[in-house]
Amino acid sequence: MNASVAIQVLPEAKDDDELIRVVDEVIAYIKSTGLNCYVGPFETAIEGDYDELMDIVKECQHIAVKAGAPSVAAYIKVTYRPEGEVLTIEKKVTKHHLED
């Protein structure tokens, strides 16, 4: 795993329910890829091969439009290490989600 991406999809929507419905379809697509992902309140993180992740980022826009959004904006963060491994989602957040 040489890359990780965080994507926040912001579809145009008539109300919050419609916004959530479209974003849920994008998240369902991301989960269907089989890659390790973490859904947060503002963005979804995904780990994998750089080229595969870039294809997923592109498809997220298409999924939002197919779901009915007339337009979509997205914020993307990318960590890429061509010759090595990037920090995993688990290493970054697990300690913050453990029960005391």
pLDDT greater than 80 at residue 61: yes
Reported as a single tens digit per residue, the pLDDT across 10-58 is 999 999 999 999 999 999 999 999 999 999 999 999 999 999 999 999 9
* Model pLDDT, residue 99: 66
Residue 96 has pLDDT above 60, yes or no: yes
Predicted local distance difference test score (pLDDT) of residue 100 = 52
DSSP string, 27-83: HHHHHHT---EEE-SS-EEEEE-HHHHHHHHHHHHHHHHHTT-S-EEEEEEEEE-TT
